Each structure stands twice: as structure tokens, then as C-alpha cells.
Amino acid sequence: MLPLTLLAVQKLSDLLTSNSSLARELATLTSSTGTSIPTIDSAHVILSSATNDVGDTDTRLGYPRVCLYSSGYRNSQIEKFCSLSGLVGTTADIWTSANMVDDTDRLIHYYVEAVTRVLRNNSGDWGDGLFFPGIYDVQFQPPKAGGLGFVQVARLKFDLIVSQE
């Protein structure tokens, strides 16, 4: 079995990439608004906490992308008869880039909405002792120079409840 912190982000990656669920949500969202934007394919959903400075030097990474990582965990012994019960902090950094700052600032909202729709559709038991209660927080960062001209990130954070023997 994977280490808990990798298992949590792998489960999230599987939710976003299986059956192209993230791309489908994005297509549904953009078709309902008559907007055309670059899609996030499965190859751009990665397990990494790399910032755009590091990500821009890796030719395998492009924009838009979703970087998934665990920010920590706490064994709070909520369930007294489990050796591990508590919370796993999980983060999805959603990156976009464009040559115009207003494009970058507009695109990020579509990508965040698509990712959060996938999460909302999958609240509950994720298997292997992980449970998503449906609670998350999104923080938008202002655009800055980088990437294809300008880059922007939104950080989505949530806790998974863990209960393992």
C-alpha cells in the first residue's frame, strides 16, 4: 500500500482523470457559457508541489495544470480502536497561463469550478479508509509574470478523514 500522504493524492488524481471527468466537467461548463478555453488533459494532472518557477523548467509540464500534494496529516485518534484516525491535508494547485493578464484571470475561474464540481460529485467514501466530507477552501492568487506571459494559481485545500487499522 502507498504511504498515506501519497494514497490521498493518488485517489484525488484518479477522480480527476478517470473517464476524463475533469475534462468533461470543463466541457460542460464552457458549453453552457459559450466559452472556448484550453482543456486540462490527464497528463497535466500531476502529483507534485512544484511552483511555476520549477514547473516552467520541466518540459513535461504545461498549462493549464493541476498539481496535487499532501500538506500533512494528523493522527488525532478520533476512533480509539484504530491505529490511525484523523485528517490528511490535501492540496490542489490549479495553474493557468496566457499572454494576456485578463485571460489568465478569467481562465482560472473555469478551471477551479471544474475541479470543485468533480469534488462535489464525489463526496463520501473514497475507499482505503479515506472519506471526503465535502468541505474545501479555495484561495485565488493574483496573476504574475511567468509561463506564457502571465501565470495564475488557485489553491484548493481540503481534509480527508482517515480511519485505518
Delineate the domains of the chain, giving CATH numbers in brackets: 4-164 (3.30.70)
User: Radius of gyration (Cα) for the chain, nearest Å?
Assistant: 16
30, pLDDT greater than 70:
yes
Angle at which helix 4-17 crosses helix 21-33, to 10 degrees, equals 50
Angle at which helix 101-121 crosses helix 21-33, to 10 degrees, equals 120
The dihedral region occupied by 117, where left means phi > 0, alpha psi between -120 and 50, and beta the remainder, is alpha
Tell me how crowded residue 159 is: count the other CB atoms within 10 A of its CB: 21
Q: What is the pLDDT of residue 59?
A: 56
**More confident position, 49 or 52:** 49
**More confident position, 50 or 120:** 120
What tens digit of pLDDT does each residue of 64-117 get?
A: 999 999 999 998 888 888 888 999 999 999 999 999 999 999 999 999 999 999
Query: Residues of the chain with pLDDT > 70: what percent?
Result: 94
Q: What is the pLDDT of residue 80?
A: 80
Instruction: State the pTM of this model.
Output: 0.92
Mean pLDDT over 50-59 rounds to 62
